[in-house]
Structure 1
Amino acid sequence: MRNVVVVGGGIVGLAVAWELTRRGLDVTVLEKESRWAAHQTGHNSNVVHAGLYYKPGSFKARMSVAGNRSIVDFARQYGVPVEVCGKLVVATDEKEIPALNTLAERAEANGVPAKKITPAEAREYEPEVACVAALRVESTGIIDFPGVCAALVRLLDEAGVDLRLNSPALAIRAGANGGVEVATGDDVVRADALVNCAGLHSDRVARLAGLTPSAKIVPFRGEYYELKPERRGLVKGLIYPVPDPTLPFLGVHLTRMLDGSVHAGPNAVLALRREGYGWGDFSAKDVAEVAAFPGIWRLAKKYAFPTGLDEVRRSFSKKRFAASLARLVPAVTEDDIVRHGSGVRAQAMRRDGSLVDDFLIETARDQVHVLNAPSPAATSALEIARHIADQVAEG
């Protein structure tokens, strides 16, 4: 039986392991942390994306539209909480209407159920919202992505998959008779093929395996607030702004979660560590590596002022954060929100400073490397897994 080692125990790595197992392969999963879904999967907004934003024909467009269905079906089949509630994307200024119209056109091109609605119609969904026009997207949902991972782990365990926590990939080399060998410190795992789903460390794992990746991971932290319990009634579902099409981030938004809480955020600031969830999380190695990368300076030249500076100011100012939310729901005030954690996005960047705007998967002999899989990767995880399993089969 052909065997594969998967590096990374987030939702993409676990989904890949499950798909390979279902195809009859022998799989080992290596996760450096002491728990599954410890980073991006465990710190995201738990939104099932519809596929609205992405360039028609791209991996993100095709996989998120298909993934919207497959991840919801998986959750329902295996008892993971999920709710398809829809969302509003709202233009709060006349200047945003052309971009909203572009989103509507993109939705149609991608096969996403969405329709333009008036401010009065928007208030039927969200009585407190302020807008000059809106887009109603019916297939957006909310889900427990860590719960999806727990279900995948149960399925993998029942199938006899070798699941290893506390097992970082420290060295990788080609096997003497083909395949790969991965040293974890305690053991050397030998396999016919390697799949790298290491997220925030995917480029480093690729380099360990002898690949020169075409992009570098630069970590961006997104910080969240939540509405106080007595103010949760201001938001009934999901309210998003019209995003800046030049940036990979969707902007600060409001999301009612499965437990009834309402999360607000995230902003986007450069993290000072690959797994840096606060300003106090600092790695001299990680900062030096980013500072030595030409792409970050080219990106900074383009976006540092005023966009980057505004994001940093919002990071330190609850008042500014609340003001961003009040553009969507004017009744939200500084007194209505409290801090609620953060997440770190593994954003792939090229040397010219451009941000990789699609999923990036590169291959070498007996190797598949997932080098850019930020949002909507969780939504698309089962579809990404099918694509990767096809590549492993071809290899």
Structure 2
Amino acid sequence: MSTSIGIVGGGILGAALLHLLTERHPDCSFTLFEKESAPALHQTGHNSGVVHAGLYYTPGSLKATLTRRGVALVKAFAEQHGLPYDECGKLLIATDEAQVHRLEQIAETARANGVPGIEILRTLEQIRRVEPHANGIAALHSPTTAITDYAAITRKLLDLSEQRGAELRFGARVTGVTGSDSGAVVEVGGERLAFDRVIVCAGLQSDRIAKTTGGGRFPAIVPFAGSYYTLAQPKADLVKGLIYPVPDPAFPFLGVHLSRMIDGRVLVGPSAFLSFRREGYSSLSFSLRDSLQIAGTGAFWRFAARNIRSAVQQLEGNTRRAFARQSRDFISGIERRDLLPGTRGVRAQAMRSDGALEEDFVIERSGCVTHVRNAPSPAATSSMAIAEHIADMIDLGAGGSGATGGTSAAEERRA
């Protein structure tokens, strides 16, 4: 009898896993469960499409290693299947001397991670050779940072998997997963379906499903919403690629940046606010269950206490006028009227019990069940490499004893 594999989640990570495993193990049987009517309707379909090069991530971390591998895999897959992929490049622009020093530190990290072509531009003339309308006193240039369409990639991954015999079950909400050393059971739509292995890539619901398997309360998902404006023409033509601020280590999220998308739009943003609904893509979205869970998490209040200054700045800067003002730090002439209503996404950010944000990817195993507990950006970039990592972790031989125990690299470093 062939080994049976269940995958929970129809975003790009679940799709990448299914594609890789059906390719590696054609004699196994595969079923993917997705609660929505189509794939890529949450984080995968609500992002800017950036293929991150790996500038910021701690060398040796899962994020750093899997991002660099992921870039190569995403690029090769897109080119092989005629999907859009544009190495438009990225500038991190400094507007004061303190930021120039941070640029140099980021350049060192990027080079340690193997990011090709990293260069610090030290004059406005050099900056404008890359972005002809940009301002700044210095910039870090990453010429291979790219943009793509992750939803299109997800659909193609699933199409290829289905052609190999995988079963795709949409509209199938998984309410629990239980496992042992000998197998696992997926609870979906009143059914209890048995598998030899189950891999859960549930994104915004990952902590809830992990707890049904006996996983710990932490890392807990705290949703953060990011809202963008779209830059109107003719101002959008002033942006060639990706223009980012220099990250401030005192704040947990990046400030406003300008991002050209694969469809030609230029996004301005995002804001970064707590979302009162895990899958809420409207500013009025609210879930009592989600809100009570946040309010009842002491870790969140510890995080909030440490980030009051950031929260105040976000509140003060969360207006169209403020977004335009911050955009003018990089491109002159952007006015409030140039910013049109844009998109909104929700980031599944995992938080530790002490209120610190989980910085690395977290993958846990419990018997024959593997859970992806934290995979925020750059998880889309890293998706195919994360799939390789998980495929190498699990044992698809008979019996299942090889999948028992184990922790992620991130957990080993915390221990």
TM class, shorter-chain normalised? over 0.9
What corresponds to 1:281 in structure 2?
285
Contact 2:230 2:268 in 1 (8 A): yes
Letter in 1 for 2:368: D
Stretch deviating more after TM superposition (51-60 or 248-257):
248-257
Alignment of 1:336 with 2:341, yes or no, is no
1:234-383 residue pairs with structure 2 within 5 A?
234-304=238-308, 306-315=309-318, 317-383=319-385
What corresponds to 1:10 in structure 2?
11
Q: 1: distance between equivalents of 2:271 and 2:131?
A: 22
Q: 1: distance between equivalents of 2:255 and 2:268?
A: 10
Q: 2: distance between equivalents of 1:115 and 1:213?
A: 43
Letter in 2 for 1:4: I
Stretch deviating more after TM superposition (368-377 or 15-24):
15-24
Q: 1: distance between equivalents of 2:66 and 2:178?
A: 31
Residue by residue over 1:37-84, the C-alpha shift from the partner in whole angstroms, topping out at 9 and shown as x without a partner, is 010000001000001110000011111111111101101111211111
Q: 1: distance between equivalents of 2:39 and 2:193?
A: 19
Contact 2:251 2:307 in 1 (8 A): no
Contact 1:128 1:331 in 2 (8 A): no
What corresponds to 1:29 in structure 2?
32
Stretch deviating more after TM superposition (195-204 or 163-172):
163-172
What corresponds to 1:55 in structure 2?
58
Contact 1:8 1:198 in 2 (8 A): yes
Contact 1:223 1:267 in 2 (8 A): yes
Shift of 1:246: 4.3
What corresponds to 1:209 in structure 2?
213
Stretch deviating more after TM superposition (322-331 or 342-351):
322-331
Shift of 1:186: 4.8
What value does the CA root-mean-square deviation take over the aligned residues?
Answer: 1.4
What corresponds to 2:198 in structure 1?
194
Where 1:258 maps in the other structure, the secondary structure is coil
Contact 1:43 1:342 in 2 (8 A): yes
Contact 1:180 1:192 in 2 (8 A): yes
Residue by residue over 1:333-360, the C-alpha shift from the partner in whole angstroms, topping out at 9 and shown as x without a partner, is 1111111110000000011110000101
Stretch deviating more after TM superposition (276-285 or 345-354):
276-285
What corresponds to 1:218 in structure 2?
222
Query: How many residues align structurally?
Result: 392
Contact 2:18 2:158 in 1 (8 A): no
Residue by residue over 1:141-198, the C-alpha shift from the partner in whole angstroms, topping out at 9 and shown as x without a partner, is 01010010111111011011011111111132237x9311111115322101111100
Letter in 2 for 1:120: E
Shift of 1:245: 2.6
What corresponds to 1:128 in structure 2?
133
Contact 1:16 1:382 in 2 (8 A): yes
Q: 1: distance between equivalents of 2:179 and 2:374?
A: 24
Where 2:282 maps in the other structure, the secondary structure is coil
Shift of 1:248: 4.4
Contact 2:179 2:367 in 1 (8 A): no
Alignment of 1:39 with 2:32, yes or no, is no
What corresponds to 1:107 in structure 2?
110
Q: 2: distance between equivalents of 1:247 and 1:215?
A: 20
Stretch deviating more after TM superposition (199-208 or 81-90):
81-90
Gaps of 5+ in 2: 396-401, 404-415
Alignment of 1:168 with 2:173, yes or no, is yes
Q: 1: distance between equivalents of 2:391 and 2:168?
A: 18
Q: 1: distance between equivalents of 2:365 and 2:260?
A: 39
Contact 2:94 2:245 in 1 (8 A): yes
Q: 1: distance between equivalents of 2:334 and 2:84?
A: 28
Where 2:234 maps in the other structure, the secondary structure is helix
Q: 1:82 aligns with which of 85, 88, 103?
A: 85
Q: 2:237 aligns with which of 233, 255, 268?
A: 233
Residue by residue over 1:190-225, the C-alpha shift from the partner in whole angstroms, topping out at 9 and shown as x without a partner, is 101111100000000101122114310000000011
Normalization by structure 1: what TM-score? 0.96
Letter in 1 for 2:62: F
Contact 1:179 1:366 in 2 (8 A): yes
Q: 1: distance between equivalents of 2:250 and 2:387?
A: 28
Q: 2: distance between equivalents of 1:174 and 1:327?
A: 53
Where 2:381 maps in the other structure, the secondary structure is coil
Letter in 2 for 1:5: G
Q: 1: distance between equivalents of 2:206 and 2:85?
A: 29
Q: 1: distance between equivalents of 2:252 and 2:314?
A: 14
Q: 1: distance between equivalents of 2:73 and 2:235?
A: 34
Stretch deviating more after TM superposition (184-193 or 290-299):
184-193
Contact 2:88 2:240 in 1 (8 A): no
Q: 2: distance between equivalents of 1:276 and 1:37?
A: 15
Letter in 2 for 1:364: S
